[in-house]
Amino acid sequence: MTADSPLPEPGSELLLRGLSEQQQFGARLAAALPPGSVLFLEGELGAGKTSLTQGLVAALGFTDTVTSPTYALMNAYPTPAGQVLHVDAYRVRDMNELYEMDLEDLIESSRLSIIEWGEGLYADYPAAPILLLEHLDGTPDVRRLTRRR
């Protein structure tokens, strides 16, 4: 598989070298995901989940700053293609907290929903791809992206 693949097959891996490749891959991925898609991103802190999201959101036409919603839990980015919802469930102890914030309605009304640390939601979105980003030992600028589902 190469960095040109829009969405890797489940179980496959891809190396992304540097921030630029992470964002470029995100841009290609945005073009490949149909409206209404949910995408799960997993990985340790600093693995590049937000960098990948920046590429996705920019490709859909959002021109402002994209930041991690770690403390806000959710950020919504209006784009010409439709709203992009960015959820960070890292600090959520009970996924019902997100549903109490109308998560389902927000996902349904969004062009794309990107959920970080969303393991507790996998069963609710069985068709959603799960991408894992990992640092490679000894190569701080390279990330391994693995599609888990």
Structure tokens at 112: 């794309």
Q: What is the pLDDT at residue 45?
A: 87
- CATH number of the domain enclosing 85: 3.40.50.300
Structure confidence by residue, pLDDT tens digits, 13-69: 999 998 889 989 999 999 889 999 999 999 998 898 999 999 999 999 999 999 989
Distance CA 35, CA 108 (A): 10
pLDDT range class, residue 1, cuts 50, 70, 90:
very low
The verdict on residue 7 lying in a domain is no
Domain of residue 107, residue span: 13-147
Split into its structural domains, the chain has a count of 1
**Phi, psi angle pair for 36, to nearest 5°:** 90, 5
Does residue 3 register a pLDDT over 60?
A: no
The verdict on residue 133 lying in a domain is yes
